[in-house]
A and B are shown apart, each in its own frame.
Chain A
Amino acid sequence: MVEEEGFRRYVAHIILWIGIAIVAFPVYIAIIASTQENALIANGQMSLLPGGHFFEVYYQTIFVGTTGSTREPVGTMMLNSLVMALMIAVGKIAISIISAYAIVYFRFPFRMPIFWLIFITLMLPVEVRIYPTYKIVADLHMLDSYAGLALPLIASATATLLFRQFFMTVPDELLEASRIDGAGPFRFFWDTLLPLSRTNMAALFVILFILGWNQYLWPLLITTRDDMQTIQIGIRKMITTSDALTEWPLVMATAVLAMLPPVFVVVVMQKLFVRGLVETEK
């Protein structure tokens, strides 16, 4: 800026590095702990430098599981989390884009009431309807199933709103042109609208995948079988048993594995992530 002296810049660099250190420290500790012996950690003697048990700890975590509480290998949990996250992200995008298409490109009775019905779900997060929703999922025999994990979370007011706004900005001439080419509603959607929506879909996907992967309260309620557990639930069960029995290196390895996919997505697809975050909050 105007009279920005070198000194102020140094201060800025230092403050930013302190901020990064604060943000990264808990994760550093988790990674370190996941390479050490449980006995050392349990005694409060944990070293702040990496230990030599990286491979055996991660092997046991992913393929064998803890000896105590969960007994399910974390590999299975990660697979469950992945299936749930993909179902939520893809499901939300798919049903939102077609409802937005109907609302923008068709005139039909109850068009706006339907739009409002979808919109108002914004105010009904799962936390305020926990047990009645649980009861419905139980009545539909969907406990301990992927459908039960994903379906009740799959409606999306924000995604519908986003696609609606985007379709509004698509010039009418495109529809005219494809009509002249003899395209019906399906062809227009598939050949014109979908390709145009690619960036929006990708940005949404990044956000929704993270959201899906990180679900906690809902899977906690509806999964009882160990082999249907997601990784977020598994990690909680690992520290349920009395402290003395908790296998901390495995718990920390699970924490690292639980962070890895969403953090990877944020770092690698940063542009899409930022775009998706800003768009969905509007």
Chain B
Amino acid sequence: MQKQAIFQTKLLPYALVAPQLAIVLIFFYWPALQAVIQSFLLQDAFGLSTSFVWFENYVDLFKDGAYFEAIVRTFFFSFAIAVSSLSFALLLAVMADKPLRGSMLYRTLLIWPYAVAPPVVGVLWIFMLHPSLGVLSRYLRDMGVDWNPLLNGNQAASLIILAAAWKQISYNFLFFLAGLQSIPKSVLEAAAIDGARPMRRFWTVTFPLLSPTIFFLLVVNIVYAFFDTFGIIDTMTRGGPGKSTETLVYKVYTEGLLGGNLGSSAAQSVILMIMVVALTAIQFRFVERKVTY
């Protein structure tokens, strides 16, 4: 699509794109390029000389068991967060889609957690489930659970997943509700006339028609779990105990903070970049298809 009516001014358009272009080049492309270059270089222990080492930094990373574990952990977190948050949000959206009294109020009361920042989410949940003073920890202990997420890695991981999924409920709910409302009621009525019970109608009609929304949300949730959980992890567990809640982004952050190996840190950033590119590509391919339906 092209505009027919256009201006002929020569310099003005450059002046108009200049601010955005400057920011993009200085703060996006230049650092990204630095990361790529750095990832092919190796510094000696004293930072006195650097040499070009091709893919050595990458090879070292993949030989390192800890990095591989961080990849697996990140994917596991993403999957657990996405599935738990999506299924709960879908249940709520299906209920809110019914012609109920006060459905607008329900929507308002369910969407506001979108606005809560990840570090605040972390603070809220660690406070409730803190081993010594959390209000919920009391009940867990009364039930005989030896609850201490500050020492037990699995408990820490489940706490992160719980908190991260909680924050994402509202976003998923909103998009599920929009998806449900765009399903033509006549299709569901036809299924009902054919004698399909509500549960059957949901699985054979609603769910398949909702699959574009589900797929879209799956990608969004994975991206969220990869990047936006940083604040939650940082206020709750700092990647610990041990490394049991250290995701890929958190690993780059902590290792960079300690100084250490620049090449390895850069290589990790580049791998993350490739993952974002892949996820974005999947998302766009899919959105493209939805548009041409």
A residues bordering B, Cβ < 8 Å?
1-4, 8-9, 11-13, 15-16, 19-20, 22-27, 29-30, 33, 41-44, 46, 48, 94-96, 98-99, 101-108, 111, 114, 117-118, 121-125, 127-133, 135-137, 151-152, 154-156, 160, 167-168, 172, 175-176, 179, 184-185, 210, 213-214, 216-217, 220, 232, 235-236, 239, 243, 248, 251-252, 255, 258-259, 262-263, 265-267, 270, 273-274, 277-278, 281-282
Contacts and interface: CB of A to CB of B under 8 A. Distances in A.
A183 B140 CA distance: 71
A16 B265 CA distance: 45
Interface stretch (B23-31, B40-48, B57-65, B67-75): B23-31
Nearest to B4: A172
B291 to A, nearest CB: 9
A243 B227 contact: no
B95 A12 contact: yes
Contacts of B256: 130-131
A131 B27 contact: no
A281 B221 CA distance: 13
Contacts of B29: 117, 124
Contact of A102 (B10, B16, B273): B16
Given A48-B135, A217-B253, A19 B21 contact: no
A155 B19 CA distance: 9
Contacts of A127: 227, 230, 249, 252, 272
Given A16-B92, A20-B110, A239-B126, 17 more contacts: A12-B100, A19-B88, A19-B92, A23-B110, A98-B20, A105-B3, A128-B32, A151-B27, A232-B120, A235-B235, A239-B235, A243-B133, A259-B115, A262-B116, A277-B171, A278-B178, A281-B220
Contacts of B133: 41-44, 46, 243, 248
8 cross-chain pairs, A with B, having the tightest CB-CB distances, nearest first:
A132-B31, A262-B115, A214-B117, A102-B16, A106-B13, A132-B34, A152-B27, A102-B13
A29 B127 contact: yes
Contacts, number: 285
B98 A1 contact: yes
A15 B79 CA distance: 25
Contacts of B127: 29-30, 33, 248, 251-252
A265 B117 CA distance: 14
B5 A98 contact: no
Nearest to B248: A127
B265 A239 contact: no
Interface string B138-159: 1000000000000000000000
Given A2-B189, A117-B29, A258-B117, A105 B6 contact: yes
Given A12-B100, A168-B3, A262 B117 contact: yes
B158 to A, nearest CB: 16
B254 to A, nearest CB: 11
B192 interface: yes
Contact of A266 (B115, B125, B269): B115
A16 B95 contact: yes
B287 interface: yes
A117 B21 contact: yes
A12 B231 contact: no
Interface string B264-293: 011001001100110010000001000000
16 contacts: A1-B98, A11-B95, A30-B124, A98-B17, A103-B17, A106-B6, A108-B10, A117-B21, A117-B29, A135-B34, A136-B26, A175-B5, A210-B114, A236-B119, A243-B132, A259-B115
A255 B280 contact: no
Contacts of B135: 29, 46, 48
Given A127-B227, A172-B3, A274-B174, A106 B123 contact: no
A116 to B, nearest CB: 11
A151 B20 CA distance: 10
Contacts of A248: 127, 133
Given A124-B32, A248-B133, A265-B115, A132 B4 contact: no
Nearest to A43: B133
